[in-house]
Structure 1
Amino acid sequence: MMAKWIVESKDGKHVGLPAKILRAEHIKSISSPMSWKILQAITEKPMYPKEIARKLRIHEQKVYYHVRNLAKAGIIRVSKQENMHGVIAKFYDIDQPAFAVALREMQELQKIPSPRNEFLYPHVKDGKLETLIVVGSLESHGPEKVKARDAPFAINLGLFLGSFLGYMPSLSVRIDTELQREEMKNNMIIVGGPAVNKIAGLINSKLPINFKTSQKQGNFYSTVFSSLSKKSYDGEEIGIIVKAKNPFDESKSVMLLAGRRSQGTKAAIIALMKNFDEVCAGNRHNPKVFAKVVEGIDSDSDGIIDSVEIKE
């Protein structure tokens, strides 16, 4: 669900914040000074209750009381979960940075579609990064004992995503070998194919476009197969961009940017940056499915991939 906005005209410009519409019975949840202190604390960055208690120097049980009430009212929500010393910690964030009370029912307005917002949602929501970026380990790992070489591409991805953010994001990058099972239930943007990123390997078979192994090539991932076009692609510059439900928690989303080799992953990142509107248009065979096959191209013959061709 997209947020409602409070908009103000200021110095000839429009400024605004996404807003949460509160019902009358929820107003009391934010009326206490302690609730406001908690909201101000997690506005800076998502926190778990024990961390909030340390910051505000109050008893942890008091924090839990107010957090429960705020969460019940929908004013705050769990943004992610992490394993903290063997215990799963729930990090809370504000649902929206502003609140309002509506005294009448909302009136229907003309809908302005935004394919870009639809594609990025819920990884980017109302100008905030709501996802984990998962990159492959630089150490040899996985059945093929390979080292990921895709980490530099994640920098370009981060810069690209940053152009859609209105807030400073918290640290959201994870190494595939260090990601805990509970953390896999978050929204995730996964960089690199299943040979170099074990999280990509775990979700690979669930995707409409995925990587296939070949016994002739020692069970290595040798082709990309599209269930939409029934085509296979085996070029080393082939990459895929797929957005789908998270198989670990279907209320969340995963996005895979990957290739058979690092050149293919680079092609996927370039496609996202240079051909974003075409990526947002969905697959040619089924526009409702966000799944693309791309091929990297060295357009100026300098040995470096610098553009892409969308295959489907």
Structure 2
Amino acid sequence: MHLQLSDNHYKIVNRMDTLHRDVVRRWLVEETSQGASGREVELLDRPERVAPLSSPLAWRILQELAKTPDYPNALAGRLKVHEQKVYYHVRRLEAAGLLHVLREEPKRGASARVLAPTAEAFAIVLKGRGNPVASPLLPHAGIVARFLEEFTRDGVFDGSIVVGSPYTHGPFNTTARDSPYAVELGFFLGRLFAPRKDLIVRLDTEVKARGAGKEDMILVGGPVANIIAMDLNPHLAVNFDWKQVWRMESSRTGRPYADEQVGLIAKVPNPWNPKKVVVSLSGLHATGTMAAILGLTRQADEVLDGYRSGEEFYRVVAGQDRDGDGRPDAVSILE
């Protein structure tokens, strides 16, 4: 289905995520001359969910909170309307499931609720079969886009993929063997986000020199091959230990991992800039890093199950060679 909006074409990709009993989401793709970008659309399947949007002020509230989440008093100031009017419509939008509390902040001795829309877009889908379309997106594109929500701005990838230098470097005096696997990651991300104008790939040595707190980062490779991953390691609840034997240890479960196929998918606040995040795709060896990338790009529905926005996330996976060709093609979840 195509919707004409200015010079852009929109289509609903035939994919659904059932988040709970009453909420269904689909993936909306915007195709422009500069590429494709996507966002999730929450389906409004009952009239009581649509009714609050009949008010022009409620519509403005939803649009403003989509731009910048805020608490009602501050939002009233932004809109230059009486705060009681804002509270009235906020309550209706919350009751309809169109707004949710993103976080709570202390304000003047009390707790202020910062509100945001529950989805990036809303839609009404009428009964009918629709028309078949060819989709360039993977079935789990939506959950990956949510996992990497900090890395996109208006559909454009806004962050860096940091790989280990191909030259001898770091305290282990080694070269990165798992950096080529970033090509697999880049190919996947290119189907989700439009590219920015400058390069998104940086060497770990380059980031070390310029500072690691400047942007959101996806680190490819473990602490031996990637010195930014080494600097991040002490801040992880699942980290790498090379004091006695090369292994991965989890302070969450107390379990050690020593198999070379083991990889880690982690998302944590950037320790050098709390306003940014770091996603780590790493392994005990290069095959472990490949397992982490496979988990994110091929089995995201399983691997990212339980992910919550704003919380630290860890998933330990093990690569599997199911087709017997000597290379990992799937993962199992260890933790």
Per the normalisation by structure 2, the TM-score is 0.57
Distance between the aligned counterparts of 1:118 and 1:12, measured in 2?
23
- Equivalences for residues 4-43 of structure 1 within 5 A: 9=5, 14=10
**Does residue 197 of the first structure (1) align with residue 221 of the second (2)?**
no
Whichever residue aligns with residue 153 of structure 1, its letter is Y
- Determine the structure 1 residue equivalent to 2:320: 297
1:225 shift after superposition? 1.1
> Among 214, 227, 241, which residue is 2:243 paired with?
214
Whichever residue aligns with residue 334 of structure 2, its letter is K
> Among 264, 276, 300, which residue is 1:276 paired with?
300
- Determine the structure 2 residue equivalent to 1:131: 159
Distance between the aligned counterparts of 2:216 and 2:8, measured in 1?
37
SS in 1 for 2:150: coil
SS in 2 for 1:273: helix
1:182 shift after superposition? 4.2
CA contact 1:239–1:295 (8 Å) conserved in 2: yes
SS in 2 for 1:179: helix
SS in 2 for 1:177: helix
After superposition, give the CA deviation of every residue in 1:213-262 in whole Å (9 maximum; x if it has no partner). 133x4xxxx11111222211110000001000001101000011010100
Distance between the aligned counterparts of 1:193 and 1:282, measured in 2?
24
> Among 182, 201, 215, which residue is 1:173 paired with?
201
**Does residue 306 of the first structure (1) align with residue 329 of the second (2)?**
yes
1:117 shift after superposition? 3.5
After superposition, give the CA deviation of every residue in 1:24-49 in whole Å (9 maximum; x if it has no partner). xxxxxxxxxxxxxxxxxxx9xxxxxx
Whichever residue aligns with residue 119 of structure 1, its letter is F
Give the gaps of 5 or more residues in structure 2.
12-33, 35-77, 99-117, 121-141
Aligned residues: 215
CA contact 2:269–2:312 (8 Å) conserved in 1: no
CA contact 1:283–1:292 (8 Å) conserved in 2: no
Distance between the aligned counterparts of 2:307 and 2:249, measured in 1?
14
**Does residue 227 of the first structure (1) align with residue 256 of the second (2)?**
no
Distance between the aligned counterparts of 1:238 and 1:9, measured in 2?
46
Distance between the aligned counterparts of 2:291 and 2:266, measured in 1?
13
Distance between the aligned counterparts of 2:163 and 2:146, measured in 1?
24
1:115 shift after superposition? 4.4
**Does residue 141 of the first structure (1) align with residue 172 of the second (2)?**
no
Let me know the Cα RMSD of the aligned residues: 3.1
CA contact 1:190–1:254 (8 Å) conserved in 2: yes
Task: Note closer, same or farther for the CA distance 1:303–1:9 as it changes in structure 2 (3 Å cut).
Answer: same
- Determine the structure 1 residue equivalent to 2:14: none
1:102 shift after superposition? 6.9
Give aligned-pair identity as a percent: 37
1:132 shift after superposition? 1.2
Distance between the aligned counterparts of 2:189 and 2:248, measured in 1?
26
After superposition, give the CA deviation of every residue in 1:14-71 in whole Å (9 maximum; x if it has no partner). 47xxxxxxxxxxxxxxxxxxxxxxxxxxx9xxxxxxxxxxxxxxxxxxxxxxxxxxxx
- Determine the structure 2 residue equivalent to 1:150: 178
1:137 shift after superposition? 1.1
Distance between the aligned counterparts of 2:195 and 2:307, measured in 1?
31
Distance between the aligned counterparts of 2:156 and 2:275, measured in 1?
18
SS in 1 for 2:253: coil
1:8 shift after superposition? 5.7
1:180 shift after superposition? 4.2
1:187 shift after superposition? 0.9
Task: Note closer, same or farther for the CA distance 1:268–1:175 as it changes in structure 2 (3 Å cut).
Answer: same
1:125 shift after superposition? 3.5
Whichever residue aligns with residue 179 of structure 1, its letter is V
CA contact 1:150–1:191 (8 Å) conserved in 2: yes
Per the normalisation by structure 1, the TM-score is 0.61
SS in 1 for 2:259: coil
Distance between the aligned counterparts of 2:315 and 2:167, measured in 1?
29
1:129 shift after superposition? 1.1
CA contact 1:281–1:290 (8 Å) conserved in 2: no
Moved more, 250-259 or 160-169: 160-169
Give the gaps of 5 or more residues in structure 1.
1-6, 16-42, 44-100
Distance between the aligned counterparts of 2:295 and 2:195, measured in 1?
25
Whichever residue aligns with residue 235 of structure 2, its letter is K
Whichever residue aligns with residue 198 of structure 2, its letter is S
Whichever residue aligns with residue 187 of structure 1, its letter is D
